[in-house]
Structure 1
Amino acid sequence: MGKSQKKKSSRRHNPMRVPDSHLPKGLASASSSSSKTEAILPIIQKMSSTEAGERKWACVAVSNLIYNDPSTRRLLQGKNIVGELITRLSDSEDEVVVEAAGALRNLCIDGGYDICAEMYNKNILAPLQTFIPKISTTLSQFLESSKNAPENAQAIVYDFADNVVTILWCLSETSNKALNAVNQLALVPFLMSFLAARQKIPLPTVVSAAQCLYVLTDDNRPVIEDVRSNSSYLSCLHEVAKAHGISQDPKGKTPAAEERTMTLSLLACGILRNVSPIPPPSTISLVDLDKEVVLPTLLPVISSTSLHETSDAVQRLAQKQQPSTADKPSIKGNPGSDHKTPETIELERIEARLRAVQLALEILTGVCATLPDPDLSADEEATEEDDEAEDDDEGGMDDADDSMAVEDPAPVPNGTTDADKPAPSILPSILVPLLALIQPTPLSFPPLGAPSPHAPTTSALSAIHVAAFECLNNAFLALAARPSDVVAKDVDAGKKVWDEVWRALSAAGTQGGPGQDRRMQVWDVAVGVLWAAGIIWPGKLTLDEEHVKVLMQLCDSRADDTVRVKCIGTLESLARAPDAIDANRIISNYLLSLLPASSQPSPIGTEPMLQACSSLIDIYSDEECPYDVNFRSGNYVQRLTEAVEGVRRAVRGIDRKKEGGRELRRRGEEVRDNLVAFIKYRRGLKF
């Protein structure tokens, strides 16, 4: 089976809010597809005006024009709007600085990696780091004597703090270089001050601080140690995590207050998991975080949302939505009061709810991915170098004790383990909602060659499907790694999962092209669930010839070796259905076609080729199976013999110095030896 999901993943927790991959590249295409081309030049001109009011207007206009509009965002980016706005962060007028920060924040959220990378390369951190002590001082003054400060002045400072923190959060997810630079700012006391004063500070600002800290504690040791070593921080996070469902907005409920409160609790759960295991003497070290805090917070969130009902509601709202006055920036415009319609406000509330579900799934995936391995002490805190060495020392794809996502998908006390005393599985409680969340809706993926009716919803829905599949992937990898007679006998459950995954994939479709990246990502993760299910219930799942064809086509069309390996592993499980003689012949001939011949190398990568070889050995390891007739009549022994030298050459060609090369080399040597032994064994059989 495949490796666990313990390695660093992409840092982007929130993918691009308004995807633009469906748009052609280049400024000319952006200009032709944007309806606001004529508004761009006045904005650029006024950005450097001698009048502060015009500079402020230009910053506000950027925020308004890019709202859910990737074409205009691209067009502005091509006109160096990022550089212009960074310059305005050093403006002599505070109001201009505030609006520039707001525009940059919106560009980060809507634009994703590319714009964040551009901001980092243009040294946005230089002005940002000067704001942090100023914000801290002002907030301290407000908290000590809020009556002395006008309410509008407080609102401006809170909004400004929100914008600065959000930019720092997005930069932290851009690259390790940017993350290391943000680490140098020592942000933990600054961010924790917002959570500590959460009863007095507007909820959106507190949530942004929590989101930034969640990202910074993701596999980032300096920040993890800063949080882990401060008992007051841990206690505060524990309180926030357990306060789900309690509104903490000091100004009263806003339309999205419930969603923000939910998100804040989820983020606190995520931060606590990121910094675990928590060492004594902190009292939190005695708490079973997953059982007592994390799962009670996550499960209601992933169970409470019907994606199909949400999709229907969004479609109705999008049809009723009228062009906002925000599309026509006024010199009096203000990002905080841009005259949003009721439909727009409700769409934003729904989007916030969907992002909360996505976050819950992300944390739940971590619950499955980071439980201790059976041969490791749970309180052993290995360094990154130790982890890499551990990876090199592990066996191949079929090792039963491979470092799986989880060895038992059950909550384990924080900092403790008892391998001989299995805890109740969390799988039954999460399976039903996860199978519901993988099913696509009419808005889950953009139409071919066109944008979605509401791009933020489409982005959130597709991210939820991927995250739900990742949870299932980790859960079933766990079951496959640690076989259980009880699970193996529950074939009906296996068929249910198998059928629901295929139903979801059928609805997702295989359309490629611009804007369809997330559709393919769903397939990449889902095929891992199919492979794991095939290992748990080999030869017992519903065999559909169309599924066989689709898996072969997917294997042929994808360049990613990992996806190909999953496809081949899934085909192996289908080929082992005792009575499926025709399907077995089709699959085995396909797998044989992936092996090297006497003078020809394999048509696919080395790792998928090794998996195909291993799969053929496993399929025909029992000559008593009804489908073994295919092996004999097809003279597979000779075909495997012709592949031996090519397998040897491929194994010798594996570069041990490349990432994963050492492990792949070991895996290849094992498969090579097994192939030689298998051929010898089959030749020795008398029929």
Structure 2
Amino acid sequence: MGKAQKKRAMRRHNPMRVPDSHLPKGLASASSTSSKSQEILPILQKMESTDAAERKWACVAVSNIIHNDPSTRRLLQGKNVVGALIARLTDAEEEVVMEAMGSLRNLCIDGGYDICAEMYNKNILTPLKAFVPKISEVLAQYLTSPNSAPENARQAVYEFSDNVITTLWCLSETSNKALAAINAINLVPFLMSFLAAHQKLSITPVVAAAHCLYVLTDDNPPATSEVRSDAGYLSTLLSIIQSDHSAPNGKAKEDPDCRSVTLRVLCSGILRNISPLPPPAAISSVDIDKTVVLPLLLSVISSVSLSDASNTVQQVVARQESEIKMEDLSLKHTPKSDHKSDDEKHLERIETTLRTVQLALEILTGMCATLPDPGPDGEDDEVEAEADDDESIDGDAEVPEDGDMAVDTADSSSKPASSSLHSLIPSLLTLIQPVTLSFPPLASQSMHPPTTSVLSAIHNSAVECLNNIFLSLSTGSSTLSMDQQSGLKAWTDVWTALSVVGTEFGPGQERRKEMWDNAVGVLWGIGNVWKGVLPANEEQVRVLMQYLEANSDPRTQVKCIGTLECLAQHPESVQGNQVISSYLISLLPGGSAGGKIGTEPLIQAVSALIDIYSDENMPYDVNFRSGGYLQKLDASIDGFKKAVKAIDRKKEGGLDLRRRGDEVGQNLLAFVNYRRALRL
């Protein structure tokens, strides 16, 4: 598969619930699309009131009116609600501070990175840093003397802890600068104290602490080293993962919020982040992926039915709309801190379950990425590349004595994929299938945006995980390729999902486009594992060509070409081979479509043609001879060499691309000479 699909760096967990990047920018557009624009000014005025009750009311009102309402949120942001709320974190009244913290936390979750960046720039870390030791002190008292405070007081502290920790978690994903500032706070002992006491505390702040620690240990050496070096921390994480959540009769214990599973999944992610563990640790000899992480995550992703979840949400939302409207939360009433109905709590439980599945998929995606990261480009490589500039593709290459063509192959340095990855494939193929609420309708908003957001995220995460699995299987040794029916089923399942996703992209439909971009990589991986097994379906070939033409991303174009290459090598698809090969020929310098693609996809197209026709005894080789491909490939050599030499090696990935271009160029020369010598 060449070097187009590198191991994907595991993305930091995105706390944003409902993507809104497609919405128009600016206060004018926010004001025109918000149904609550008249409520903004009174809220901001009361935020500065001398009456503590009014200040508290204003803080609560912010959370109420931004819920699943990005237009109103953006309008508030434009009126500096972030600065106003941060100012309230130093309010003399404790209840005002707590409500302001809650609203800031909700802004982080609903607003995403832009609002988090604004909070960081407006110095929110100063009050947050002061809250950490105060929370630790209060919780220590609760753990020492459980009856030292009434239940409502303890719950208030738990909620405040959750809000502070969740905000720190979101801020740590904002930028490297914010992450460095949070590292300086030294949060690891604070967060681990929640996990160590998870059986004595409310699950809410414990899960928030695990989320924050999961993010902080993701490619962040300061936090990773601190967790890894403490045997007590490691023991706590492992005990949570392996905790028995079954009742004596074998049935699962009641988990009304579904968060105990989330906690276990997060702890498994933390263990993966800090692996490998130091030898003195008791679990250093344990294969964490195989014995701890994989069994847990497989059970999580296989235990949910997306169609059932979607149907339930639709029923609940329909029931909400048919019932009497919620109590009027106008300015005449003081909203309560928690006014959620049973239906709203039901929807949140469903979302929690689905978010846990998404999280499990993200961890699995990292676990399935077995390709090593490319090493740094050394100075010697630069010198060697410069020395080869004028001779890499020039001259006649030698034809191998055995008559076999030395075609371009995949990077052989990848580790062979574990057979345990096979067990994930059926569940992942199920999770990529869209259901009713998976994507917003093309002409309107989803009836429940949070569910749509998490469902589309699950589909894309499952596709990314499949991409890594098949990439691993295609570059290593696997017995799975012998099971042709599995290959045909996987291929059909991916196309079935894409047919439901459709190709109508645009504002608000970014997840559909992301699904296609990722799925083409999966098709390429399946094609490589079962090369020669998959027939060149006319409609699928046409769609891949059209998607290549409509896409400007060179990596996606490479995936399309790689997939077409695999389909062209089906022995019985002579006509399909002719359609694909003639299209690839047209992409060469001087071809009818020459210039439509960049250098990276051009290199892949040349490599594909060499691979397709490396065996002149194949039934479809007649297309090579009748189409005059030898002459066309020969005529493209100078143009190809020029394109490769124009690669800027100083750009990211440029040196690797230049090396690959040189290698394919040498193969092209050898291939032309070899085919010419056959005199067919």
Q: After TM superposition, is the score higher than 0.5?
A: yes
CA-CA distance at 1:111 after TM superposition:
1.3
Q: Distance in 1 between matches of 2:672 and 2:352?
A: 58
User: How do residues 238-637 of structure 1 correspond to structure 2 at under 5 angstroms?
Assistant: 238-243=238-243, 245=245, 256-257=256-257, 259-322=258-321, 323-325=325-327, 327-328=329-330, 332-335=334-337, 337-338=338-339, 340-370=340-370, 399-404=409-414, 407-409=416-418, 425-484=419-478, 486-597=479-590, 602-637=595-630
Kept in 1, the 8 Å contact 2:473–2:529? The answer is yes
Give 1:5-24 correspondences, 5 Å limit.
Answer: 6-11=7-12, 13-14=13-14, 16-24=16-24
Q: Give the counterpart letter for 1:473 in structure 2.
A: N
Write the distance in 2 (CA, Å) between the matches of 1:185 and 1:561: 41
Q: CA deviation at 1:139?
A: 1.4
- Equivalent residues of 1:83, 1:122 under 8 A apart: yes
Q: Is the 8 A contact 2:438 2:456 kept in 1?
A: yes
SS in 2 for 1:482: coil
Q: Do the aligned partners of residues 615 and 341 (structure 1) sit closer, same or farther apart at CA in structure 2, a change above 3 Å counting?
A: same
Name the CA distance, whole Å, in 2 between partners of 1:159 and 1:389: 51
Q: Once the two structures are superposed, what CA deviation does each residue of 1:92-118 show, in whole Å capped at 9, x if it has no partner? A: 222111111100100111111111122
Q: Secondary structure at the match of 1:214?
A: helix
Query: Does the Cα contact within 8 Å between 1:434 and 1:472 map onto a contact in 2?
Result: yes
Aligned residues of 1:368 and 1:475 also touching (Cα < 8 A): yes
Distance 1:220 1:268 in 2: 16
Q: Is the 8 A contact 1:568 1:615 kept in 2?
A: yes
Alpha-carbon distance in structure 1 between the residues aligned to 2:646 and 2:244: 54
Asked if structure 2 preserves the Cα contact closer than 8 Å seen for 1:3 and 1:402, the reply is: no
- Residue 185 of structure 1 aligns with an amino acid whose one-letter code is I
Q: 1:682 to 1:520 in 2, by over 3 A?
A: same
Change (3 A) 1:4 1:56: same
Shift of 1:327: 5.0
1:82 is aligned to 2:82: yes
Task: Give the whole-Å Cα distance in 1 for the aligned partners of 2:599 and 2:53.
Answer: 63
Measure the CA separation in 2 of the matches of 1:370 and 1:156: 45
Give the letter for the 1:553 counterpart.
Answer: Q
Question: How many Å apart are 1:268 and its aligned residue?
Answer: 0.5
CA deviations over 1:472-495 (Å, ceiling 9, x no partner): 1111111100143x3232111110
User: Aligned pair 1:91/2:91, yes or no?
Assistant: yes
Residue 606 of structure 1: how far off its partner (Å): 1.1
Output the CA distance in 1 between the equivalents of 2:377 and 2:450.
37
Displacement of 1:403: 5.0
- Distance in 2, matches of 1:561 and 1:524, equals 11
User: How many Å apart are 1:254 and its aligned residue?
Assistant: 8.8
CA–CA distance in structure 2, aligned partners of residues 397 and 442 of structure 1? 45
Q: Structure 2 vs 1, CA of residues 152 and 488 (structure 1 numbering), >3 Å: closer, same or farther?
A: closer
| Distance apart, 1:598 and its partner CA | 8.7
Instruction: State the Cα RMSD in Å.
Output: 2.4
Q: Secondary structure at the match of 2:265?
A: helix
Q: CA deviation at 1:580?
A: 1.7
The 1-side partners of 2:376 and 2:246 are apart by 39
| Residues 389/468 of structure 1: CA separation in 2 closer, same or farther (3 Å cut) | farther
The answer to whether the 8 A contact 1:355-1:460 is kept is yes
Q: Distance in 2 between matches of 1:330 and 1:437?
A: 46
Q: Which runs of 5+ in 2 are unaligned?
A: 248-252, 386-405
Does the 8 Å CA contact 1:568/1:608 hold for their aligned counterparts? yes
Cross-structure match for 1:181: 181
Instruction: Kindly indicate whether the alpha-carbon contact (under 8 Å) linking 2:102 and 2:163 is maintained by their aligned counterparts in 1.
Output: yes
CA separation in 1, counterparts of 2:45 and 2:556?
49
Deviates further, 306-315 or 578-587: 578-587
* Gap change, CA 1:494 and 1:447, over 3 Å in 2: same
Q: Secondary structure at the match of 1:146?
A: coil
Alpha-carbon distance between aligned partners in 2 of 1:660 and 1:343, rounded to the nearest angstrom: 51
Greater alpha carbon shift after TM alignment, 516-525 vs 24-33: 24-33
- Counterpart in the other structure of 1:145: 145
SS of 1:147's equivalent?
A: coil
Distance 1:308 1:25, change over 3 A: same
Taking the aligned partners of 1:635 and 1:499, their CA distance within structure 2 comes to 34
Distance 1:50 1:111, change over 3 A: same
Which whole-Å CA distance do the structure 1 matches of 2:254 and 2:54 have between them?
A: 31
CA distance in 1, matches of 2:300, 2:217: 22
Distance 1:443 1:34 in 2: 23
Q: Does the Cα contact within 8 Å between 1:613 and 1:675 map onto a contact in 2?
A: yes
1:530 to partner: Cα distance: 0.8
2:157 alignment partner in structure 1? 157
Distance 1:389 1:4 in 2: 22
> Is structure 2 residue 133 aligned with structure 1 residue 124?
no
Structure 2 contact 581–609 (Cα < 8 Å) conserved: yes
Give the letter aligned to residue 185 of structure 2.
Answer: L
**2: distance between equivalents of 1:359 and 1:635?**
52
Q: Is the 8 Å Cα contact of residues 255 and 349 (structure 1) preserved in structure 2?
A: no
The residue that corresponds to 2:659 in the other structure is 666
Q: Tell whether the 8 Å contact from 1:195 to 1:210 is kept in structure 2 after alignment.
A: yes
1:273 and 1:594 map into 2 onto residues whose CA distance is: 43
Equivalent residues of 1:24, 1:30 under 8 A apart: yes
Q: State the SS of the aligned residue for 2:619.
A: coil
Aligned to 2:170: 170
* Structure 1 residues 297-354: Cα deviation after superposition (integer angstroms, max 9, x where no partner): 112111111111111111111111144348546653233x22x122111111100000
**Distance in 1 (alpha carbons) for counterparts of 2:454 and 2:597:** 34
State the AA in 1 paired with 2:517. D
Question: What are the superposed Cα offsets for residues 254-290 of structure 1, whole Å, 9 maximum, x if unpaired?
Answer: 9743x10000000000000110000121101122222
In the alignment, is the contact (CA less than 8 A) between 2:536 and 2:577 conserved in 1?
Answer: no
* Equivalent residue number for residue 133 of structure 1: 133
Distance (Å, rounded) in 2 between the aligned partners of 1:60 and 1:618: 64
CA distance in 2, matches of 1:347, 1:353: 10
Partner AA of 2:655 in structure 1: R
| Partner of residue 52, structure 1 | 52
Identity of aligned residues (%): 59
How far residue 460 of structure 1 moved from its aligned partner, in angstroms, is 0.6
How far, CA to CA, are the matches of 2:353 and 2:543 in structure 1?
34
Q: Which residue of 1 aligns with 2:62?
A: 62
Instruction: State the alpha-carbon separation in 1 of the partners of residues 255 and 107 from structure 2.
Output: 23
After superposition, give the CA deviation of every residue in 1:351-396 in whole Å (9 maximum; x if it has no partner). Answer: 000001111111111221258x6xxxxxxxxxx9956769x89x99
- TM-score, structure 2 normalization: 0.91
- The AA in structure 1 aligned to 2:416 is E
The answer as to whether partners of 1:495 and 1:542 remain within 8 angstroms in 2 is no
- Report the equivalent of 1:416: none
Structure 2 CA distance for aligned equivalents of residues 544 and 399 of structure 1? 25
In the TM superposition, residue 430 of structure 1 has moved relative to its aligned partner by: 1.7
Aligned with 2:334: secondary structure? coil
**8 Å Cα contact 2:109-2:170 kept in structure 1:** yes
Q: How big is the shift at 1:8?
A: 3.1
Give 1:381's aligned residue: none
Residue 44 and residue 389 in structure 1: after superposition, are their counterparts in 2 closer, same or farther (change >3 A)? farther
Tell me the matched-pair count.
648
Partner of 1:683: 676
CA distance in structure 2 between the aligned counterparts of 1:246 and 1:136, rounded to whole angstroms: 31
| Structure 2 counterparts to residues 224-235 of structure 1, below 5 A | 224-235=224-235
